[in-house]
Amino acid sequence: MERTCLLLLLLSTLVYCSIGQGGDLSPSASLSISPDRSQFFKFESVSLSCEVQGNSTGWRVVRNTERGNLSECNTDWGKQQGSSCNVSLIPSHSGVYWCESGSGEHSNAVNITVHVYTDGAVILESPALPVTEGDSVTLRCRYKGTLSNLTTDFYKDGSLIRNATTGEMTIPAVSKSDEGLYKCTNSEEESPESWMTVTGVLLSPTAFPTPIPSPAVPVLSMSLPRLLCSLLVGSPYLLVTTILLVKCCRSRTQGETRVPRKTHQDQLGDRVEEE
C-alpha cells in the first residue's frame, strides 16, 4: 500500500511540474525598423524585421494601411529576405506595421508615413522606436529642393522649443518630459507630427550593492491567463495527491490500532498462572 501511494504521489508531482514549467513557452517578438524613423519620402527604402525570442517560425511582418487594407509582406508589397521585409515606399504604403504570429500574437507597432517627392516638401526625421532615458537624440528636418533660408523651427506638442540654422536639433540626454509630438517648419512648409516615446533606464545589477543571501523564492514568469489555466488543470492532481496521502496515513494508523489486545478474562487467567 505504501509503495502504491508513493508511486501515485510521484506521478502526480511529475505531471503537475510539467504543467508549471510549460506555463509560458510562446516567444515574444519586437519589430525593428531601419532606418529608425517614421517619416519617409516616396521611393525611399525601409527594412522591417521581426526579432523573436524562441521559435520564430510563423512570424511575419503585417501592415494596416490608412485605407484599412490588412496584408502581410511578400503579398502585394515588400520583398521577404530571411527574417526581414524590404520595402520601396510609395504614399499608399502609409500605415501601421507590426509582427504577427500564426496564433495571432503581436509585437510592438510602428507608424510609417510616406510623402510625395515634390519640391519644397518637408519631413521630420525622429526615432520611430522608443528611446531610453539618458540617450542622445537628434531630430532632423529634411527638405526637397533648394531653400534660401535654412532656419528651422522645432515644435513639441504645438509649442516652439528651438530655432536652428542647421536643420537639426539634439537632445543630449532625453528624459520622460521630452516624450511627445514633434514637428518642424521652414519658411515654406511644415512636416507632419511624429510621436517620440521615452522609456525608463534599465539598471544593471552592478548598480546595486550585493544583498545578503536569502531563501530562494520561486518566481512565476507566466502571464495571468496561463497561470490560471495551469492552476485549474493542476488542481485535480494536487487534490488527488492530498486524498491519497490522507488515505495512506489513515491506513497506517488503522493497521497499528488493529493489534489484538488482551481481554479482561485473559488478564485474570495470566494472574492465576503467575500465582
pLDDT value for 222: 41
Residue 271 domain-assigned (yes or no): no
pLDDT value at residue 188 = 76
Hey, what's the cell of 76?
Answer: 502585394
- So what's the pLDDT on residue 141? 93
Domain boundary residue among 117, 148, 171?
117
CB-CB contact of 81 with 63 (8 Å): no
Q: Is residue 275 part of a domain?
A: no
Contact predicate 97/63, CB 8 Å: yes
Query: Which structural domain range is residue 101 located in?
Result: 30-117
CA 207/CA 173 separation, integer angstroms: 19
pLDDT in tens, the chain (275 residues): 444 344 444 444 443 343 333 334 444 889 999 999 999 999 999 999 998 887 667 788 999 987 788 899 988 899 988 778 999 999 999 999 999 988 888 899 999 999 987 777 899 999 999 999 999 999 999 988 766 677 899 999 999 999 998 889 999 999 999 999 999 998 778 999 999 999 987 654 444 443 433 333 333 334 444 444 454 445 554 554 566 665 655 665 555 555 455 555 555 555 555 55
| pTM for this entry | 0.62
Q: In whole angstroms, what is the distance from residue 109 CA to residue 132 CA?
A: 17
For Cα atoms 50, 55, 56, give the angle at the middle one, nearest 5 degrees: 25
Q: Is residue 37 domain-shared with residue 111, that is, in the same domain?
A: yes
Domain boundary among 200, 234, 269: 200
Q: How confident is the model at residue 15, as a pLDDT?
A: 36
Q: Can you tell me the distance from the alpha carbon of 153 to that of 186, in angstroms, rounded to the nearest whole number?
A: 7
- Residue identified by cell 495512506 is 248
CATH number at residue 163: 2.60.40.10
- Whole-angstrom CA distances from 49 to 60, 74, 78, 175, 260 are 9, 13, 12, 27, 79
Instruction: Examine the domain organization and report whether 107 and 166 are in the same domain.
Output: no
In a domain, 183, yes or no: yes
First to last CA, the chain: 45
| pLDDT value of residue 184 | 95
Please report the pLDDT score of residue 235 as a whole number: 53
Neighbours of 56 (CB within 10 A): 15
Q: Supply angle C-alpha 246, 251, 254, rounded to 5.
A: 120
CB 38 within 8 A of CB 113: yes
Q: How many domains does the chain have?
A: 2
